[in-house]
Structure 1
Amino acid sequence: MRILTIAHLGAADPVRIRQRFSVVVMRTVLELNGVPCIPFEEEVTGREQLIFSRSFSEPVTTRDGMRQALSVYAQQGAARLVKHGTAAKVLTAFAGTGWYAPGAGSFPSILVPLPAPTTDPVVLAKAAHRLLPHIEEGFRYARAGIMLTDLRPATGQQAFEPFRFRHEEQGIAELVDRVNKKAGPGSVGIGYGGLRPGPAWQMKREMLSRRATTHWDELALVKAS
C-alpha cells in the first residue's frame, strides 16, 4: 500500500485500513490524527495470573544462586499483588537450562497451594524455595521464574485463625514496596532477595535503548536555535 513511514500511515484512509488489516491498526491511524480511541493502560495484568520470569545474563549453577533469584521474584510478585489489591492462593516456581548447555533439557517446576490467599513476600519466597531440591548443582540454568494464580481480592474474607499469617498483618509487602519506590528499585529486600551487591545473573541493561515513549525521564529532547 506504499505505507513506508508513520506519516504515510497517519495519512491513510482509516476505513480502507480497517478493511485490509484490523480495528487495532485503524485505531492507530485515528490516534495519529488526534482522535483518542485507545484507552491508556498503566499496566496490562491478566485477571487470573501474574508471571515473573527472566533470562539470566550468566548461568546460575548453584542452589544458593537460584534461591536468591526466586526470592527476588517472590518480592516483586508481592509488590505487584499489593498494587492491584489482590492476593494469590497458588504459586508455581520453575527454572530451565539452555537447550545446548551441559545438563540441557532440565526444566524443573513445582506447584505449591498456599494455606490462604496472601501477598506476603516471606510466605511467597518460602513457597518458591520448594523448587530448590529439584535444582541440580552444576547445571547451567538460563532462566527461572514464578507464577501466581488463583488470584482473589485482598479485601476478601479473612482466613480462619489456624491459617492466618500473623506477620502479614504488619504490612511487610506494602512497606518494602514503599521503600523501593522512594529510594529506587532494589534498595531493600527480604532475606536472599536483599543481598548486596546485586546478583551477577541479573539481566544486563547497559545497551538498553531509551524508552522515549513510555518513561518521562527518557523523553527525547529537541532543541531549536
Structure 2
Amino acid sequence: MSKMFALCDVNNFYVSCERLFNPALRNRPVIVLSNNDGCAVARSNEAKAIGIKMGAPLHKIQDIVRKHNVQVLSSNYALYGDLSNRFVSVLERSCDQVEQYSIDESFLLYEGFKHTNLIEHNQEIVKTVQQWLGLPICIGLAPSKTLAKIANHYAKSLAVPNGVLELNSRYTVKNALENLPVSEIWGVGRRLSEKLNKVGIHTALQLRNADYKTLQRMFSVNMERTVLELRGKSCIALEDSPPPKKQIVCSRSFSNKTDDLQLIREAIAYHVTRGCETLRKQGSLAKSMTVGIRTNPFSAQDKQYCQSITLSLPEATDHTGVFLKSAMRGLQEIYKKGFLYKKVGIMLNDLSTAEGHQKDFFMSVKSSPELMQAVDSINAKYGKGTAKFALQGFNQKWSMKSERRSKDFTSNWNDIVKVK
C-alpha cells in the first residue's frame, strides 16, 4: 500500500494511569469518576466484567462497589494530561506524521515505508510505550482512518498478542465488518445507526457494500465518505494540528450549592482565566463573552433560576484583565439573591485570528501583551495558578468535589514518588 494509517490507543487510559503509580490497583475492579465525583467515566476490565456501565452514577452502583470492593477514584486530569503528552512524544519518535485525536488516542500516517514491516514496527511501539511509560496500548493498522479504528477495536476486544492488528486484505476486512454493528463505526452515532437500520443496513459490511451515492443523497457527504473509507479508500486526511476552536466554553458545577456572590465571582474569574489561556494558546482573539449562572434543575426543593448575558467588547482581544472586568459587570447584572447556585460558566465568542490583527486607532482596548506572555510563561514553568489575578481568590472553596483524587506524581515536585 502507498500509505497506511495506525490508530494507537491506551487501554482504559485513566485507570492505567492510576495503576502506574499504585500497583495495588492491578487485577482489581477500578472506576474513575467524572467531575464532582458523579459518574463512572473510566472502568478497568474487571469493573466492566461485574456489570458497571459507562456513565453509571456512583450513588446507583454503591451495592456493586461494596460487594466487589471496587476501588473508586476521582479524576486526576493533571496526571492524565502529562502522561498523554509523554505518550504522544514516544509516538513521534517512531513516525513523522502524528495526529493526537484525543487524550488517549493518536493516528499515525505511514508514507514511504514500503520496505518496512509495519506490523513489527508497531509491535515495537507497543513494547516501547510499555517499557518507557508503563502504559498498555493496542494499535490498529489499515489503509484508512475508519478501518484503523475498527482494527484497533478488534485488537483490544480480542486481546491480540503483541497488541497490533492489521486490516488490509479483502478477506480480513470482510471478516471484521460482517459482524460489526453500524453503531460501532467511527462517525456513526445512535441516531444515524437507527436510520440505517430502517433501510436494512445493520452491519458494517452491509454499509460498505451499499451504493454510496444513494446514501449520500439520503444522508450526507459524510456518509459517502464513510462507505469509501470502509472500502479502504482514504478520504479523511491526517490533521497535523487540531483546527482552532470557534468558541471557547469553560464551566463547572460547584461541589455544594451556594448563594455567596464572592465565591461565584471567584469561580467566574477562574473560568475567564482558563478561557483566555486557551484563546492565546491557539492564537485567537475574542470580541464578545457570555456569562451564565444557574441553580440545580434536578433539585425539586430549590427555587429555580437560570440566566446569562452576552457582553461585547469594543475590540477583539485576548487579555485576561479586559475579560475579567467585563465578566464582573455582567455577573452583577444577572445575579439575584435568594437562590442557591450550582453551576457557572463563560463562553468566548466571535473568535478571530490574532496574527495580522489590525487594531482600531480610536477604539483600541488597553491591554498589555507582554504581561499576558509573562503570566503564561511563569505558569508554564512553575505550574498553573502560580501567577494569577486576585479576583480568582486563593482558597477555591467553590471548586468541584474530588475526594478520591490521587497525587500529581509527574507534575508536582511534592508528589514525586520517593523510594526508600
The aligned counterpart of 2:400 is 203
Contact 1:112-1:127 at 8 Å conserved across structures: yes
- Assess, with a 3 A threshold, how the Cα gap between structure 1 residues 15 and 111 changes in structure 2: closer, same or farther: farther
Q: Secondary structure at the match of 2:356?
A: coil
Question: Where do 1:17-32 residues align within 5 Å?
Answer: 17-18=176-177, 20=180, 21-23=184-186
Stretch moving more, 15-24 or 97-106: 15-24
Look up the equivalent residue of 1:83 and give its one-letter code.
K
Structure possessing the higher relative contact order (Cα contacts under 8 Å, 6 or more residues apart): 1
- Assess, with a 3 A threshold, how the Cα gap between structure 1 residues 199 and 102 changes in structure 2: closer, same or farther: farther
* Deviation (angstroms), 1:145: 0.5
Contact 1:179-1:188 at 8 Å conserved across structures: yes
- Assess, with a 3 A threshold, how the Cα gap between structure 1 residues 201 and 149 changes in structure 2: closer, same or farther: same
Q: Secondary structure at the match of 1:162?
A: coil
Count matched residues. 199
Task: Return the alpha-carbon distance in structure 2 between the equivalents of residues 104 and 82 of structure 1.
Answer: 38
Q: Secondary structure at the match of 2:249?
A: strand
- Assess, with a 3 A threshold, how the Cα gap between structure 1 residues 23 and 143 changes in structure 2: closer, same or farther: closer
The aligned counterpart of 2:345 is 145
- Assess, with a 3 A threshold, how the Cα gap between structure 1 residues 118 and 56 changes in structure 2: closer, same or farther: same
Look up the equivalent residue of 1:22 and give its one-letter code.
I
Task: Return the alpha-carbon distance in structure 1 between the equivalents of residues 262 and 301 of structure 2.
Answer: 19
Look up the equivalent residue of 1:199 and give its one-letter code.
Q
The aligned counterpart of 1:189 is 388
> Residue 6 in 1 paired to residue 156 in 2?
yes
Q: Secondary structure at the match of 1:57?
A: strand
The aligned counterpart of 1:84 is 282
5+ residue gaps in structure 1?
27-36, 218-225
Task: Return the alpha-carbon distance in structure 1 between the equivalents of residues 258 and 360 of structure 2.
Answer: 40
Contact 1:88-1:151 at 8 Å conserved across structures: yes
Stretch moving more, 139-148 or 178-187: 178-187
Look up the equivalent residue of 2:268 and give its one-letter code.
L
Contact 1:176-1:189 at 8 Å conserved across structures: yes
Matched residues, percent identical? 25
Q: Secondary structure at the match of 1:149?
A: strand
* Deviation (angstroms), 1:125: 1.0
- Assess, with a 3 A threshold, how the Cα gap between structure 1 residues 73 and 181 changes in structure 2: closer, same or farther: same
> Residue 180 in 1 paired to residue 379 in 2?
yes
Contact 2:304-2:339 at 8 Å conserved across structures: no
Contact 1:62-1:138 at 8 Å conserved across structures: no
Over aligned residues, Cα RMSD in angstroms?
A: 3.5
The aligned counterpart of 2:415 is none
* Deviation (angstroms), 1:138: 3.9
2:270 corresponds, among 72, 83, 87, to 72
Scaled by the length of structure 2, what TM-score is found? 0.42
2:358 corresponds, among 158, 179, 186, to 158
Contact 1:71-1:191 at 8 Å conserved across structures: no
- Assess, with a 3 A threshold, how the Cα gap between structure 1 residues 41 and 157 changes in structure 2: closer, same or farther: closer
- Assess, with a 3 A threshold, how the Cα gap between structure 1 residues 111 and 169 changes in structure 2: closer, same or farther: same
Contact 1:82-1:174 at 8 Å conserved across structures: no
The aligned counterpart of 2:200 is none
* Deviation (angstroms), 1:185: 1.6
* Deviation (angstroms), 1:144: 0.6
- Assess, with a 3 A threshold, how the Cα gap between structure 1 residues 102 and 135 changes in structure 2: closer, same or farther: farther
The aligned counterpart of 1:63 is 261
Contact 1:58-1:200 at 8 Å conserved across structures: no
Look up the equivalent residue of 2:333 and give its one-letter code.
P
Task: Return the alpha-carbon distance in structure 1 between the equivalents of residues 347 and 356 of structure 2.
Answer: 21
The aligned counterpart of 1:128 is 327
Describe the superposition over 1:140-174 as per-residue Cα deviations: whole angstroms up to 9, x where unpaired.
111111001111011233221232123x2343332
Task: Return the alpha-carbon distance in structure 1 between the equivalents of residues 372 and 332 of structure 2.
Answer: 23
Larger radius of gyration: 2
Contact 1:121-1:172 at 8 Å conserved across structures: no
* Deviation (angstroms), 1:49: 0.3
Task: Return the alpha-carbon distance in structure 2 between the equivalents of residues 104 and 68 of structure 1.
Answer: 23
Q: Secondary structure at the match of 1:161?
A: coil
Task: Return the alpha-carbon distance in structure 2 between the equivalents of residues 180 and 24 of structure 1.
Answer: 37
5+ residue gaps in structure 2?
1-152, 189-203, 205-235, 412-420
Task: Return the alpha-carbon distance in structure 2 between the equivalents of residues 41 and 210 of structure 1.
Answer: 32
Describe the superposition over 1:153-207 as per-residue Cα deviations: whole angstroms up to 9, x where unpaired.
11233221232123x23433322222222222222211311x22x2111113342
